[in-house]
Amino acid sequence: MNYSLVLASAAILFFFLLLASIRVGRYLGRHGGQDEKGTAGSAAIEASVFALLGLLIAFTFSGAAQRMADRRNLLVSEVNAIGTAWLRIDLLESADQPLLRDQFRRYVDERVNYYRHVADLEARDRIATRVGAIQKEIWTRSMAAARKAPPPFAASYVAAVNDMFDVSTAQTVAQKVHPPLMTYIFLGFLALICACLIGLNLANAKRATLFHQVIYALVMTAALYIIIDFEFPRIGAIRIDQSDTLLLSQRQAMGDQTAAK
C-alpha cells in the first residue's frame, strides 16, 4: 500500500470537508436565526472551543516531533552499538571471529532491510522475526566464544553485544509507539466544529470571504498533515531516511560476506 498517496488523499479530502463545514455554518447562521442577547455567551463558548483546538494541536505537534527525534537518536545509538560490538570481536579467539563476523553482517543486512520496509507493517514484522532469530544465533555463538577468551575481554565483548540488542529492541518498540487513533479523530472533529463556528460568524458578512475560508482550511489541513508526517516520518514529505545512511556506512565498513568455516 502506498501510504504517501493515502496520506495526501486524506489531506485533500479533509481540506474540502473544512470548506464544507464553513458552508454549513453559514447556512445555519442565515436560516437559523440569531439572538443578539446570546452573543456574549456564544462568544465565550467559541473561545473555549478554539482554545481547546489550539492546545490540542500544540501538544500533538510537540509530541510527534519529539518521537521523531527520539527515533533518529535511537538509530544513531544503534549504529554506534553495532560498531562497538563489531570492533570488540577482535578480543575473542581468532578461530571464533570469522563466523561471528558473518553473523554480524547478516544481522546488519536485516536491520537495513527492516528500516527500508518499516512502513509496510506485515513485511516489517516478518523481518523483525528474522532479526530475532539472528540475534539468538549471535548470542549462542558469542557465549561459546566468550568462554574461551580471557574474562575481561569476554565481559567487554558480551556487554557490547547486549547493548546492540537492547538498542535494536528499543528502536523496534519506538516504531510502534503512537498516540491512540481517537486522538487524531477528535482533533479532526474539533477542527470541523471550529470551521462550522467560523461559518456562523460569517453568515451576515456583506462581502464574500472565500479567501479567508480557504486560508483556514489550508492552515488546518497543513497542521494535521505535518503532525501525522512527524508521527510516521517514512511515508510522507518529512522523512528520516537520510539517517539510514549511517547504518549503510557501518555495513560497508564490515566488508563483504565470507563463507563460514
Over residues 75-113, the pLDDT tens digits come to: 999 999 999 999 999 999 999 999 999 999 999 999 999
Per residue in 162-183, pLDDT tens?
Answer: 999 999 999 888 888 888 989 9
SS3 category, 92:
coil
Domain assignment present for residue 24? The answer is yes
Helix 39-88 crosses helix 181-201 at what angle (to 10 degrees)?
A: 150
The pLDDT of residue 261: 38
Domain assignment present for residue 93? The answer is yes
How many alpha carbons lie under 13 Å from residue 137 in its C-beta half-sphere?
Answer: 15
Question: If you search the block for the grid coordinates 540475534, which residue do you land on?
Answer: 135
Domain assignment present for residue 199? The answer is yes
Domain assignment present for residue 219? The answer is no
Domain assignment present for residue 221? The answer is no
- The runs of H, that is alpha helices, within the chain are 3-31, 39-88, 97-116, 121-146, 151-174, 181-201, 210-231, 244-253
How remote is the C-alpha of 72 from its chain's centroid?
A: 10
> Can you give 11-32 as a three-state secondary structure string?
HHHHHHHHHHHHHHHHHHHHHC
pLDDT higher than 90, residue 131: yes
The pLDDT of residue 257: 67
Domain assignment present for residue 108? The answer is yes
Spell out the residues 6+ positions from residue 256 whose beta carbon is closer than 8 angstroms to its own: none
As for how many domains the chain has, the answer is 1
* pLDDT more than 90, % of the chain: 55
> Is residue 258 packed enough to be buried (19+ CB in 10 Å), middle (13-18) or exposed (0-12)?
exposed
* pLDDT more than 70, % of the chain: 90
Per residue in 17-36, pLDDT tens?
Answer: 999 999 998 888 887 655 55
The pLDDT of residue 37: 46
Between residues 54 and 208, the one the model is more confident about: 54
For residue 107, what are the domain limits?
3-28+41-214+228-253
The pLDDT of residue 1: 62
**Spatial CA neighbour of 29 closest among 259, 202, 170, 183:** 202
Domain assignment present for residue 131? The answer is yes
Domain assignment present for residue 261? The answer is no
Amino acid at 58: A
Between residues 48 and 207, the one the model is more confident about: 48
Distance between CA atoms of 111 and 117, rounded to whole angstroms? 10
Backbone angles phi, psi at 256, to 5 degrees: -85, 160
Angle 202-203-206 (CA atoms, 0-180°, nearest 5)? 80
Residue 232 · residue 119 · CB < 8 Å: yes
The pLDDT of residue 80: 94
